[in-house]
Structure 1
Amino acid sequence: WLSAPLGVVKAMITPGRVSFYNKLENNYFDGSFEYLSKLLGTELDFKKVQNLLLGEALYDLRDEKYQVSVNSSTYELKPVKTLDLFKTFFTVHPGNFRLASQQISQPLQRRLLEIRYKDYQEKSNKIVPNNVGILAIDNDQRNVIDIEYRNIEFNTKVSFPYKIPSGYEKIVLN
């Protein structure tokens, strides 16, 4: 469950669906992960969205072999075997070995998804990002999302009022 300041946007993401409403634009979405996939330009499911929000790699890094190099402040991981249609790139903070950024690009479709993690905090014996910056480019369309965590709780029973207000326009995917 996510809520923007002043409750302008509220979202609920479960393994089966994505639902959110936006008070500024009087619209809502309630459906599959197709909306987020289209917004960010890469195929997403619950596990990938959870990884994105918690500072984990969208794809299992153990599935590929990587060349590792060191730049001034991070380790850079580039796949040994590059694909023409799909490219990945990761940077890792050397102090805590957590992601500093991850990029997924599809050059032929002119798509780029870049996620940056500025710093991390420890909550409930887990290391999680303080801030997540997301840039999604699809041809000439640009989406920028900045997330700052103010409160994070794990494995807690939650009870919150989440109801899409009446009169809001449903977002329909084309």
Structure 2
Amino acid sequence: MKKNTLNSLLVIVLLFLTASCKTKKNVVNNPSKVIDEKVATNKTSENLRLLKSKDFSYSTLSLKAKADLSIDGNEMGVSMNVRMKKDEVIWISITAIAGLEVARAMITPDSLLVLSRLEGTALKKPFSYIYNFANRQITFRMLQSVLTGNTITEFMAEPASLTQEEGAFTLKGEKINLAYMIMFNNLLKPALVHLNDVRAGQALKVDYANYQLVDAVLFPSTVKVNSMSGKRKVNIVFDFSKIERNLPLDFPYTVPKRFEIIN
């Protein structure tokens, strides 16, 4: 029973990584035409570089959010604090509406750690444990990219197909068994990310909308996640209230002695 609870918490944590972030700023209207005049006609490599140039750089990120979750029809609302150090660690604290922390997680390129204060248990797994919920092509850096609203480096190269219609780009391709489609808006930012592994029965769809300008960088203020893995279905709507970058951060994660460790 405890293991099942921890697995459910891990699903929440992993699906959170498909979101992006926002702060309370004015929404930037999506123009009818591409805002950048450097779009190259029929030059895939140049346009991929253009889309990649819209990514933002950071060393650390600190995010706060509220999330409405629906897991197999069961609904709940939580608050989340997220801290990231690029290419090294993603730290997440999940708090119930009452203000009490119910779970804490730390994800690195090598490991997954999930602490359940409700059950008094801790899950310790290698990063590969994520493949129980996602395609084997998913990497730590890919999770970072989706979380920060950046392009996914693994997909931003030929022979991926990049088409343009009414100023909006669509990127399509397949990486082993993982088919992907990413639609960009006229701000040259992702509007839709769709990952699909038919063989494994896994699919993920992320909708980004209402981009806001924060420190001269665009972030989506509305993020909707729909995930399916086998018979498990998860829907999440994120509302982010604060984002801070390039500040000194710590990543506390200590398992109390009384907790049971589940390997």
Please say whether Structure 1 and Structure 2 have the same fold, judged by a TM-score greater than 0.5: yes
- Asked if the contact 2:168–2:188 (Cα under 8 Å) also holds between the matched residues in 1, the reply is no
How far residue 129 of structure 1 moved from its aligned partner, in angstroms, is 3.4
* Equivalent residue number for residue 109 of structure 1: 200
- Asked if the contact 1:8–1:24 (Cα under 8 Å) also holds between the matched residues in 2, the reply is yes
Shift in CA distance, 141/124, structure 1 to aligned 2, threshold 3 Å: same
2 CA distance for matches of 1:145 and 1:27?
Answer: 25
- Find out whether 1:143 has 2:243 as its counterpart: no
Shift in CA distance, 48/112, structure 1 to aligned 2, threshold 3 Å: same
Equivalent pairs: percent with the same residue?
A: 21
Q: Superposition pairs for residues 150-165 of structure 1, below 5 Å?
A: 150-159=241-250, 161-165=252-256
1 CA distance for matches of 2:125 and 2:254?
Answer: 14
How far residue 47 of structure 1 moved from its aligned partner, in angstroms, is 0.7
Which amino acid in structure 2 is aligned with residue 3 of structure 1? S
Which amino acid in structure 1 is aligned with residue 246 of structure 2? N
Task: For CA contacts below 8 A with separation 6 or more, give which structure has more relative contact order.
Answer: 2
| 3-state SS of paired residue (2:243) | coil
Gaps of 5+ in 2: 1-90
Gaps of 5+ in 1: none
- Asked if the contact 2:94–2:102 (Cα under 8 Å) also holds between the matched residues in 1, the reply is yes
2 CA distance for matches of 1:132 and 1:28?
Answer: 29
1 CA distance for matches of 2:203 and 2:106?
Answer: 25
Shift in CA distance, 78/42, structure 1 to aligned 2, threshold 3 Å: same
How far residue 134 of structure 1 moved from its aligned partner, in angstroms, is 3.1
- Asked if the contact 2:135–2:178 (Cα under 8 Å) also holds between the matched residues in 1, the reply is no
How far residue 51 of structure 1 moved from its aligned partner, in angstroms, is 0.6
How far residue 146 of structure 1 moved from its aligned partner, in angstroms, is 4.3
Q: Superposition pairs for residues 52-71 of structure 1, below 5 Å?
A: 52-58=146-152, 59-70=154-165
1 CA distance for matches of 2:150 and 2:254?
Answer: 30
Which amino acid in structure 1 is aligned with residue 188 of structure 2? F
| 3-state SS of paired residue (2:254) | coil
* Equivalent residue number for residue 3 of structure 1: 93
How far residue 50 of structure 1 moved from its aligned partner, in angstroms, is 0.5
- Asked if the contact 1:34–1:44 (Cα under 8 Å) also holds between the matched residues in 2, the reply is no
| 3-state SS of paired residue (1:4) | strand
- Asked if the contact 1:28–1:171 (Cα under 8 Å) also holds between the matched residues in 2, the reply is yes
Larger deviation, residues 140-149 vs 45-54: 140-149
| 3-state SS of paired residue (1:53) | helix
- Asked if the contact 2:108–2:127 (Cα under 8 Å) also holds between the matched residues in 1, the reply is no
| 3-state SS of paired residue (2:244) | coil
| 3-state SS of paired residue (1:47) | helix
* Equivalent residue number for residue 48 of structure 1: 142
Aligned length: 168
- TM-score under structure 1 normalisation? 0.72
- TM-score under structure 2 normalisation? 0.52
